[in-house]
Structure 1
């Protein structure tokens, strides 16, 4: 539960810094409507492109498993945001209550176990589409089903709670870094020396998995500034 709570707290802090103190009302500090459900199903569509699903193109191309895992973490950002918003708007409780309830889900035990195996491509795609349907449904949001489906996806993508947490913290710091370096006004450069910043972040983490969040930020700053000078 501790890692779930830490991730929820980090996400809430990031959302407040990016969208303002009242982001759980569904409106940013600039008056723009927030639609976390749309964020989830659009990100899921991008996730499917990690596979060579098109029957007319690149049929023998190997799946991009590393990108799949990064996309899983991106979806987790939005699912946590939707969950926090839902709890706030329905008076279900605090972030701590949400973390506790998540840890009691049956599927939580799946990700609280060491795992490095990938499921079959078609099974993963079916699971991704189930998550999309959870958010596209016109019925009342079944938050527990959405999170359970996501935990199934985590397990199928060769991740567990430990690796999900590690990648989430890395992406959370990268998102903060993006915001601090002009992401909203378009001045931020997302491709670093031919590699997307996601890939660079993961490479830095893989080289030193014990990096603290502040140290990771500093390392990203060092790499980014070096590229700007060249």
Structure 2
């Protein structure tokens, strides 16, 4: 079993438990609100497409926002892991470790264990994103392995590999925890810090501190946020 996959699946399970209560695997939050991971995925995919100047009538000379694309890819990964955990629970295929083990053994997973970090052509990336949307919108039984395979294709096309996906995922997971601890649900959380989205701040902290731990990352986010809120 790949240790990075296992940790990402475990972290996602813990975040969902903390955010939605331990009954979330049944498709409902602790406040009895329905959870729809498929909708989360295709809505996030739509946002991902806006990383590109795809509108033929507007800003056609702009360059793709690859940094934003990578962050959106990681956001979709949160939801795909969640859908996988929920699916394994509902179909009695197993728990977190079973899912992580099965992902590790997928042929499609082996493709992201690479040193290559090249971006694909813009339209190819958009088509792959739309493939993911079609898979989760299909009325037939969920093709979970196909969804993972399409996502791992997207990882490669977005200039990421396993190590880069892992670092960004852990960073965004910690940021999500930080958001929840600082008023994200009640709307009091400030998402733009001195003109930059918190996503961008988190990504820069990772890039500037290659050996930073998740705990230290949380602390650095906390320091930046406290400085922001004190200045307002």
Q: What TM-score, normalized to structure 1? A: 0.99
1:63 deviates by 0.2
* Correspondence list, 1:22-171, <5 A: 22-171=23-172
Equivalent in the alignment of 1:212: 213
SS of 2:124's equivalent in the other structure is: helix
Task: Give unpaired runs (5+ residues) of structure 2.
Answer: none
Offset from partner CA, 1:173-207 (integer Å, 9 cap, x none): 00000000000000000000000000010011111
1:106 deviates by 1.3
Consecutive aligned runs of 4 or more in structure 1 exceeding 3 Å deviation: none
**In the aligned structure 2, how far is the partner of 1:150 from the partner of 1:17?**
26
**In the aligned structure 2, how far is the partner of 1:99 from the partner of 1:139?**
24
Equivalent in the alignment of 1:178: 179
SS of 2:5's equivalent in the other structure is: helix
Equivalent in the alignment of 1:222: 223
Equivalent in the alignment of 2:200: 199
**In the aligned structure 2, how far is the partner of 1:102 from the partner of 1:215?**
29
Task: Give unpaired runs (5+ residues) of structure 1.
Answer: none
**In the aligned structure 2, how far is the partner of 1:205 from the partner of 1:7?**
17
Equivalent in the alignment of 1:7: 8
**In the aligned structure 1, how far is the partner of 2:47 from the partner of 2:23?**
29
1:115 deviates by 2.0
Offset from partner CA, 1:144-188 (integer Å, 9 cap, x none): 000000000001001011000000000000000000000000000
1:32 deviates by 0.4
**In the aligned structure 2, how far is the partner of 1:209 from the partner of 1:168?**
15
SS of 2:111's equivalent in the other structure is: helix
Structure 1 vs Structure 2 CA RMSD? 0.5
**In the aligned structure 2, how far is the partner of 1:103 from the partner of 1:115?**
19
1:210 deviates by 1.0
Offset from partner CA, 1:57-92 (integer Å, 9 cap, x none): 000100000000000000000000000000001000
SS of 1:51's equivalent in the other structure is: coil
